[in-house]
Structure 1
Amino acid sequence: LSEEIVEVVEADSYWCLTKLLEGIQDNYTHAQPGILRQITRLRDLINRIDAPLAMHLARENVEFLQFAFRWMNCLLMREISLSNTIRMWDTYLAEGSEGFSEFHMYVCAAFLVKWSDRLKKMEFQDIMMFLQSLPTASWGEKEVELLLSEAFMWKTLFHHSPSHLS
């Protein structure tokens, strides 16, 4: 690659990294208040969009912190393939300054609701094992597109209407 192309790629990479970190700085500071805030909002959203799942998780004493912390901290990189992560993050960047800080929470909600029927049939230990090793190895672009579409729908319905979550 020519030096000129390398400089352009470097500049684009730097821009992408700054956009990624811009909205989630407080995810990686002492006590990680950003992650805790996202997990609380995720729990509230699930209570609203899938109350039976929320009640089942509560009955089984499954705390959202126990599984969603990793989803927020690693931005779902450990749950889906690298190529699917890149596709998902491309959408986050297109969502602007709230892509990683806000839209990601809606993606996590759609991700959890996807497994709702299975999870409601499980007890605590099985739920935790399932959520730590989700069957996403065979996921392709179609599954990620559906996940992003559902997340966009939830964001459209709830993001600027916080009273809908109470």
Structure 2
Amino acid sequence: MCWSGIPHVCRNVAWKILSRYLPLMADRREMMLKKKRQEYFNLVDQYYETRKQAIHADTYHQIHIDIPRMSPLIPLFQQELVQEIFERILYIWAIRHPASGYVQGINDLVTPFFVVFITEYIPLDIRTYKVNSLPESAIQNLEADSFWCFSKLLDGIQDNYTFAQPGIQKQVNTLKDLMMRINSELHQHLTSNHVEYLQFAFRWMNNLLMREMSLMCVIRLWDTYLCESEGFASFHLYVCAALLNKFSSELLQEKDFQGLMLFLKNLPTQHWNDDDVRFLLADAYRLKFAFADAPSHLKE
């Protein structure tokens, strides 16, 4: 039911269940939430002060300068309290995952959870809402819940953020292979104009298309990702392939490297709505069904 889009009034709870954060049994949820929220703030008490240590200074500095750049057109994310929340979430995650640490781009991946979970406490239009007007307990719950669900997401794609980001390298190569099979004409056009997939698709994998679509479209996209097995890894590839395929005719009209790259880095998706995302997901599912387990002769 959630694959096709989650109603706003249900999304807060549904995402927590689909993230494997909330248990399925309703009578266990309150106890589990209390335990996990306390566990998070125990981690904050244990680790957050270490940001002042020289060994962690670079990590904290990078997070500190990245946060103000996040969703600059949405006033919610420019509030000092919200930026402090994001700093804590990202720093605690980085300290607990030394194999990868903080990597630019993962700060974007907290925002959908934060926006979805804050709607438990305030109306739908959260763009200018003053978060410091919420009760302290609500702010703490929002921070802890966002941390754990963000962590669950990254558990499935952590190879994307370890040294040299091998997960992303593999995904980009797989996307290239997919496009050779799905749309050989477009693939050949990109190749003949010396466009490397890594030059545009790295961001698509690193930020899960958050720079390519509006936040509300990304939230709709994640409704489906959370329902798919390895949604943020394998299914995301088919969504990227569907996105590239959708703009095939426009890309084929571009006759040089500069024009192609300009289009690929500024896709005309700024006015997309739920219907556009729904059609993209349907096309991605069709591609997955056709090519996920296809024998190699289909490359022909």
Q: Structure 2: how far apart are the matches of 1:64 and 1:6?
A: 41
Corresponding position of 2:236 = 104
**CA, structure 1 residues 139+57, in 2 after alignment: closer, same or farther (shift >3 Å)?**
same
Per the normalisation by structure 2, the TM-score is 0.51
Contact 1:158–1:165 (CA<8 Å) still a contact in 2?
A: no
Q: Does 1:119 align with 2:251?
A: yes
Identity of aligned residues (%): 53
Q: Structure 1: how far apart are the matches of 2:160 and 2:283?
A: 24
Find 1:137's aligned residue among 242, 266, 270: 270
Find 1:41's aligned residue among 174, 185, 201: 174
- Deviation sequence 1:105-152 (CA, Å, 0-9, x none): 100000001110010111210000111111111100010001111111
Superposed displacement of residue 19, structure 1? 3.3
Question: What secondary structure sits across from 1:76 in the alignment?
Answer: coil
Per the normalisation by structure 1, the TM-score is 0.89
Structure 2 matches for 1:47-58, cutoff 5 A? 47-58=180-191
Question: What secondary structure sits across from 1:157 in the alignment?
Answer: helix
Superposed displacement of residue 78, structure 1? 0.2
Superposed displacement of residue 165, structure 1? 4.8
Corresponding letter in the other structure for 2:165: Q
Corresponding position of 2:228 = 95
Superposed displacement of residue 89, structure 1? 1.2
Larger radius of gyration: 2
**CA, structure 1 residues 160+19, in 2 after alignment: closer, same or farther (shift >3 Å)?**
farther
Corresponding position of 1:65 = 198
Runs (5+) with no aligned partner, structure 2: 1-120, 122-134
Q: Structure 2: how far apart are the matches of 1:27 and 1:119?
A: 27
- Deviation sequence 1:44-87 (CA, Å, 0-9, x none): 00000100000000110000000000100010000000000011
Superposed displacement of residue 10, structure 1? 6.4
Question: What secondary structure sits across from 2:253 in the alignment?
Answer: coil
Corresponding letter in the other structure for 1:109: A
Q: Structure 1: how far apart are the matches of 2:269 and 2:250?
A: 14
**CA, structure 1 residues 33+86, in 2 after alignment: closer, same or farther (shift >3 Å)?**
same
Corresponding letter in the other structure for 1:100: F
Structure with greater contact order relative to length (CA < 8 Å, sep ≥ 6):
1
Q: Does 1:78 align with 2:216?
A: no
Corresponding position of 2:261 = 128
**CA, structure 1 residues 30+165, in 2 after alignment: closer, same or farther (shift >3 Å)?**
farther
Runs (5+) with no aligned partner, structure 1: none
Superposed displacement of residue 158, structure 1? 1.6
Q: Structure 1: how far apart are the matches of 2:213 and 2:276?
A: 10
Superposed displacement of residue 23, structure 1? 1.7
Matched residue count:
165
Corresponding position of 1:25 = 158
Q: Structure 2: how far apart are the matches of 1:66 and 1:136?
A: 19
